[in-house]
A and B are shown apart, each in its own frame.
Chain A
Amino acid sequence: MSEILAEQSTIDPEEMRDAARRLLADRVNRRAPYAEPPRDESETLFAAMSEQGWALLTAPEETGGLGQSFAALAPIYEEMGKVMSPVALFPSLASLELLTLESASPAARALAEKVACGDAQVAVAIVRPDTLSVEGECLNGMLLALPADIGSDHLLLLVDGAEAAAWLIEFSAPGVLITRPEMWDRSRPVIDIKLEDVDAIRALSEEISAAIERVRGHLELALTWDSLGGARQSLDETVAYMMSRQQFGRPIGSFQALKHRAADHKLSIDVATALAREATDAFAKGAQDAAVRASQARLLADESYHAMAEDAVQLHGGIGFTWEHDCHLFLKRALLNEMLYDSPEARRDRLAPTLFKRMRR
C-alpha cells in the first residue's frame, strides 16, 4: 500500500490524483488494445491498482477498508478517463456501496472483503423488472454490454422499481453464459450475460431501493469523471495540434472559426465539471438526492465528451480520420460511455419527474 494511504485519515484527493497519474502513466499504453493483434495489458494494470489499494479506498474501515468518501475516487476516475484506462474498476467499487452494508447478506459481505483486496471483481447491472423473469430465486434473462473487467467473477444484479431486489450471481454458477462481444471501442471490456434457470443469492433484503441508488450514483459519477477526463485530454491534444499544424502560412489555431470551437468545448467541459464537483460533494456527503445529481452530471459530462471527441476528428482534418491517429480512441470511448447501462434518453426520462418536482413552485 502506498504511503499516502497508510498515513492519513482523510486522504487529500489531489495527492490521490498524483499517485494515480504516476501509476497510469507507467502502465497504460492507450494504443495497446488497437494493436494488431490487440495487446491486453489490463491484468498487470489491475494488479498495480490493487497493490496501491484503490479498491480499499472507499470500503468502510470495519471491513478492512480505508473508509474514504467518494471525493478520493473522483480524481482517480478522471485520470483513468484521460488515459482511457483499459481497466474500468468502477463496477467493482460501485458494488461495494451495497455489498458492504451492515444489512447485506453474509455472502455479499464475504464478497465485499474479497473485492476490496482485489481478489474478486464484480459487474453490475441495474434493470427494470420486465428485463428478467424471476421465480423464487431462479432467474432467467439476458443482459447486454455490461462493463466488466477481465477478472470479473460475480454479477450484482439490481432490479429497480416497486419490488426492488438485489441478486448476487457467480459467473461459474450453472446456467450462466458469459460472452465478450467485440465492440468498436476497445478500451472498455464489456460482457453479455445469459441467465438460464440460474440460482441467485439475495445480496440485501431491506432498504434495497436506497442501496440501488447508492450503486447507481457511484456508477454515474465514475462515468462522469471518466468522460470529463477524456474530454479534457482530447481538448488538450486538439489544441496542441491546432498550434503546430500550419496552413496558409500560419497555425490553424489562429483562425477564429476554429479557435472559437475550441473555446466552446472548453466552456462546456468547465460547466459540466462544476456540476460534477457539486454532485460528487453531494454523493460524498450521502445527500438524499445524490444519485439524481450524479445522473444530471453524467448527462452533461457525456455530452461534452461526445461533442469534443467528435469535433476533434474534424479539427484534425484528414489525419484525424486515420487509424494511426488517436482521435478515434477518444471518439469511440465517448460514444460508448454515453450508452452504458442506459441511453441518455432513458436517463432523461428517469430524471424528469424528480427534476420537475424539485423545480415546481
Chain B
Amino acid sequence: MGEAALMSQNEQLDNFRATVREWMVQNVPRDWRARQAGDNIEEFIASQREWLSRLVAAGYATPHWPEGWPGGGRSLAEQVALFEEIARVDAPRMSLYFVSLYHAAMTLVECGTPEQQARYLPGILKGDVWVQGFSEPGAGSDLAALKTRAERKGESYIVNGQKVWSTLGQFADYCLLLVRTDPTAKKQAGITFLLMDMKSKGVTVRPIRQVTGDEEFAEIFLDDVEIPVENRVGAENEGWGVAQVTLSSERGLTLVELTERMYRSLWRLIAAAEAPPAGPDVETSRAMVDLIGRIEALRALVGEFMARRIAGQEAIGDASILKLAYARTARAYTEMGLRLQGISGQRFTPYILGAGYETGNWMFDFLNSYQFNIAGGANEIQRNIISERMLMLPREKMA
C-alpha cells in the first residue's frame, strides 16, 4: 500500500471514529444505568430493543455485515473503533442481540445459502433474537461429545435431546443448533448444523436461575422436533466446521469492548478507595497500583492482538491468551471493588442488566465475572490450548 493510500485510510478511520463519538453522545440514553437499575428482565428486553433499533438506523449494529446492509462493509479497524467508542461513552451493551448480530448473522453470511440469508438476515435487523444451542449437560468443555440426536425422515430432521446455557433462550425466536446425525462417526465428524424455529412443536425452554439471582440463560428441551432439511447450514455431518465459523464470528470485538469498559470505569474503584473519611490505606493503594497496571497491560495486549488480526498475522493460541488474561483481570477487578466496599458490599442492592462487569454493584459484578471464566472455553481449556499449541507440551492421556 502506498503512503498516500495509508494516510487516507487513517484519516477515514479518524473520521469514522469522530462521527461515531458524536452520534453516541447524542443518542446514548443519558441516565440509562440509573433508570435501569432494578429493572426486571422484561423491562431490560424492552430497552435492548429500543437501543438496537437506534443502532440499526445509524448503521452501527451491523458494520461487520457485507456492504449493502445498514452500515455494512466496515473494516475490522473501524469495527474496533466503534466498540471503543461504545465503551468510552458507556453505552449499554448489545447483550440480547449479540448472538443474532454476530454468531447467527456471520454463520449465515459465510456458510448459509442465499435463501437462508434472505429469509433470516432482515429479521435480525428487526430484532429477532437468536440463541446458540451448542452446549449440553454432558458436553461443555468437551463440546464435540454432544448427543442431541437428529434423524432424517423425508425432507425433515427429527430432533431429540437437550441443550443448555443458551443466552436468554426464553426470549429467543431462533436457535443455532448442533445435532448428531451420525452416531457411528468419530466425535466431530457426525455433527450437523441446523437452524431451528423456537416456536416449533416439541421445544420447551426453561430459564436457568444463576448465582446472581437473575435468569440470563436457559435450557432447551427437544422432543421430536421437526426441522426442515432446508434449514441445514453446510452439508450433513459437516456442522463442526460451521460451528467454528459461528464461534469466531465476533473476532475479538467483545474483548475490545469489555477491556475498554473496565479501563474506563477504573474511576469507580478509585472513588471507592478514596471514600472518606479514611481514604486508601497503604495496602489498598499498593494493590490498586498493581490492578491498574494489570488493566493497562491487558489493554495494551488487546491492542496488539487486534493490530495483528487486522494485519492477518494472528498466531495460534493468541485468542486463548487474550481470553484468559481478560477473565483473570475481570475477577481481580471485581474482587477489589467488593473488598473496598466492606460490609456494605454484602448488602443487597438492585443491579442492572446489559452492562459489562463494571456496573458498580460489586457483588453482582464479582459473581457475574465467573461467566467469562467459564463460558466460551473455561480458563482450564484456555490453559490447555496455551500449553499444548503454544508451548507444545504433550496432551494428557485420554481416559
Which residues of A are in contact with B by a Cβ distance under 8 Å? 235, 239, 242-243, 250-251, 253-256, 259-260, 262-264, 266-267, 270-272, 274-275, 277-278, 296-297, 299-300, 345, 348-349, 351-352, 355-356, 359-361
Contacts and interface: CB of A to CB of B under 8 A. Distances in A.
Contact of B387 (A259, A271, A348, A349): A259
A137 B94 CA distance: 66
Contacts of A260: 380, 383-384, 387
Given A274-B301, A300-B294, A267 B288 contact: no
Interface stretch (B11-19, B21-29, B201-209, B264-272): B264-272
A83 to B, nearest CB: 21
30 contacts: A235-B391, A239-B391, A243-B392, A250-B397, A254-B394, A254-B395, A256-B384, A259-B384, A259-B388, A259-B393, A263-B387, A263-B390, A267-B324, A267-B325, A271-B294, A274-B298, A275-B297, A296-B293, A297-B293, A299-B289, A300-B294, A300-B297, A349-B282, A352-B280, A352-B288, A352-B289, A355-B292, A356-B273, A359-B266, A361-B267
B185 interface: no
A267 B391 contact: no
B293 A266 contact: no
Given A254-B397, A349-B282, A355-B292, A263 B267 contact: no
Contacts of B328: 267
**Chain B, interface SS category:** helix
Given A243-B394, A259-B393, A300 B293 contact: yes
B383 A264 contact: yes
A312 B383 CA distance: 18
B391 A263 contact: yes
A361 B274 CA distance: 12
B78 interface: no
Contacts of B382: 263
Q: Closest 6 A-B residue pairs measured CB to CB?
A: A275-B297, A361-B267, A259-B387, A274-B301, A263-B386, A274-B300
Nearest to B292: A355
Given A272-B297, A348-B290, A361-B271, A356 B285 contact: yes
A266 B266 contact: no
A275 B296 contact: yes
A267 B397 contact: no
Contacts of A297: 293
Nearest to A279: B300
B304 interface: yes
Nearest to A260: B383
Contacts of A349: 282, 285-286
Given A271-B301, A351-B289, 9 more contacts: A239-B393, A243-B392, A250-B397, A253-B393, A259-B396, A263-B324, A352-B286, A355-B289, A356-B285
Nearest to A249: B397
Interface in B361-399: 380, 382-384, 386-388, 390-397
B321 A270 contact: yes
Contact of B394 (A250, A271, A355, A356): A250
A309 B5 CA distance: 47
Interface in B322-355: 324-325, 328
Contact of A296 (B274, B286, B296, B384): B296
B383 A263 contact: yes
Contacts of A251: 393-394
Given A243-B394, A254-B394, A256-B380, A266 B267 contact: no
A263 to B, nearest CB: 4
Contacts of B274: 356, 360
Interface string B168-188: 000000000000000000000
Contacts of B267: 359-361
Given A275-B293, A275-B300, A352 B383 contact: no
Contacts of A242: 393
Contacts of B270: 356, 359-361
Interface centre among A262, A271, A297, A345 (most CB of B within 10 A): A271
Given A345-B286, A356-B274, A262 B293 contact: no
A260 B383 CA distance: 5
A243 B393 CA distance: 6
Contacts of B384: 256, 259-260, 263
B397 A270 contact: no
